[in-house]
């Protein structure tokens, strides 16, 4: 698709947009997912994650309460009713404040779907009870391999058994790709559960070029809808074009869109010049600028259904024959 083939997508997506009302309207129309990293701590150091490069275990840094309050205010202002994800490169359940944060988000945006990913180490029945009471919609548990350990299907399946025994949840296996991925689903008191194991060493993301051991077999030419659909906020209030950027890495400093504490609103950050430049680059097929040129997300296994869904969200129509 070429930008000139847009029928309904707003031109405001591709330029820095001024005016609070216009910014708010564009944000409300297009943002389907808000990613909020409430704290930086992670109890694991996976080989395929930037946490293996930069210390996130010796201290706990939490999002400034004023930053979080500002996020709540803006979401309430537009009655935000789509996804809110509460993790980036951290373990949300390592912080007992996660329950109050979920409650606060559900109070500010009662129609939003609040969820997050976890490594599962802290998940037990009492954890799930508190999350259900707080209003969590979905929990994705990733059963990671240990540092220095190769992915093995049978070993991962034993972890599934341990998880079920610990939580009492019966899981239904939905996907199995030998040597690559296992996915199971379940439910608990209204929380949708997805439990997965994956060979991230072979098929993970290089996280904006930070993970140099993750294989990249071609330079990206596919479009990406992340900077259209998402707003990503790190623990320190910095906003990035997508969830692949790591707040603690100096290599990604040039890609900071702005900070929640300095900006007039979340809407102003979404409609900034840097976000517009990423959308221009990632909207159509063709070579991408760094670091998106080596990103493989949605490149190989999503297929035409993902492309059609993306086109529908952006109001694209196919070029005339």
pLDDT at 3: 41
**228 within 8 A of 33, measured Cβ to Cβ:** no
- Predicted confidence (pLDDT) at residue 296 exceeds the cutoff of 70: yes
Mean pLDDT within 218-241:
95
- Predicted confidence (pLDDT) at residue 76 exceeds the cutoff of 90: yes
What is the DSSP annotation of 54-70? Answer: S--SS---B--HHHHHH
pLDDT per position as a tens digit, 169-206: 999 999 999 999 999 999 999 999 999 999 998 888 99
Query: What is the C-alpha to C-alpha distance for residues 135 and 275, in angstroms, rounded to an integer?
Result: 31
DSSP annotation of 320: P
Mean pLDDT within 203-213:
91
pLDDT at 307: 47
- Predicted confidence (pLDDT) at residue 301 exceeds the cutoff of 70: no
pLDDT at 188: 97
pLDDT band at 297 (very low <50, low <70, confident <90, very high): confident
Two structure tokens written together for 101: 């944060």
Nearest of 235, 134, 234, 147 to residue 189 by alpha carbon: 134
**257 within 8 A of 227, measured Cβ to Cβ:** no
Q: How many CA atoms lie within 13 A of 25 on its CB side?
A: 10
Mean pLDDT within 80-104:
97
Mean pLDDT within 244-267:
97
pLDDT band at 218 (very low <50, low <70, confident <90, very high): confident
Q: Across all residues in the chain, what is the average pLDDT?
A: 90
Beta bridge partners of 284: none
pLDDT at 318: 40
Mean pLDDT within 266-281:
97
Instruction: Give all strands (DSSP E) within 162-277, no chain letters.
Output: 172-177, 181-188, 191-198, 230-233, 238-240, 258-259
- Predicted confidence (pLDDT) at residue 306 exceeds the cutoff of 50: no
Average the pLDDT over each of 51-65, 191-205, 306-320 and give the range with the smallest value.
Answer: 306-320
**48 within 8 A of 211, measured Cβ to Cβ:** yes
- Predicted confidence (pLDDT) at residue 4 exceeds the cutoff of 60: no
- Predicted confidence (pLDDT) at residue 212 exceeds the cutoff of 70: yes
3-state secondary structure 97-119: CHHHHHHHHHHHCCCCEEEEEEC
The percent of residues above 90 in pLDDT, for the chain, comes to 84
**260 within 8 A of 71, measured Cβ to Cβ:** yes
pLDDT at 8: 61
For 17, list phi and psi in degrees, rounded to 5. -105, 130
pLDDT per position as a tens digit, 109-131: 999 999 999 999 999 999 999 99
Geometric angle at alpha carbon 131, from 198 and 51, rounded to 5°: 40
Query: What is the C-alpha to C-alpha distance for residues 241 and 279, in angstroms, rounded to an integer?
Result: 9
pLDDT at 299: 53
Beta bridge partners of 238: 259
Nearest of 50, 108, 110 to residue 249 by alpha carbon: 50
Q: Which has the higher per-residue pLDDT, 243 or 306?
A: 243
The position carrying tokens 């490594």 is: 119
Reduced DSSP (H G I as helix, E B as strand, rest coil) percent helix, strand, coil of the chain, to 5: 35, 15, 45
Geometric angle at alpha carbon 302, from 314 and 161, rounded to 5°: 125
């Amino acid at each position: 698709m070429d930008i000139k083939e847009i029928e309904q997508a707003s031109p405001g997506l591709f330029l820095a947009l001024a005016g609070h009302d216009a910014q708010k309207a564009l944000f409300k129309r297009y943002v389907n997912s808000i990613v909020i990293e409430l704290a930086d701590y992670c109890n694991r150091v996976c080989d395929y994650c930037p946490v293996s490069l930069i210390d996130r275990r010796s201290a706990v840094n939490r999002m400034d309460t004023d930053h979080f309050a500002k996020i709540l205010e803006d979401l309430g202002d537009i009655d935000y009713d789509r996804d809110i994800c509460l993790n980036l490169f951290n373990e949300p359940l390592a912080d007992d404040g996660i329950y109050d944060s979920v409650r606060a988000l559900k109070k500010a945006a009662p129609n939003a779907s609040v969820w997050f990913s976890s490594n599962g180490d802290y998940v037990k029945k009492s954890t799930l009870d508190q999350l259900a009471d707080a209003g969590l919609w979905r929990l994705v548990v990733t059963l990671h391999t240990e540092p220095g350990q190769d992915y093995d299907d049978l070993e991962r399946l034993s972890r599934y058994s341990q998880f079920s025994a610990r939580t009492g949840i019966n899981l239904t296996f939905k996907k199995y790709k030998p040597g690559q991925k296992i996915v199971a689903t379940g439910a608990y008191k209204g929380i949708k559960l997805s439990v997965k194991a994956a060979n991230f060493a072979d098929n993970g993301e290089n996280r904006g070029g930070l993970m140099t051991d993750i294989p990249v077999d071609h330079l990206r030419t596919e479009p990406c809808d992340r900077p259209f659909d998402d707003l990503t906020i790190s623990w320190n209030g910095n906003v990035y074009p997508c969830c692949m950027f790591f707040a603690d890495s100096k290599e990604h400093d040039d890609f900071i869109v702005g900070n929640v504490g300095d900006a007039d609103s979340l809407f102003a950050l979404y409609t900034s010049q840097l976000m517009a430049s990423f959308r221009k680059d990632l909207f159509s097929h063709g070579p991408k600028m760094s670091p998106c040129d080596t990103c493989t997300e949605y490149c190989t296994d999503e297929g035409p259904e993902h492309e059609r869904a993306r086109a529908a969200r952006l109001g694209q129509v196919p070029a005339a024959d």
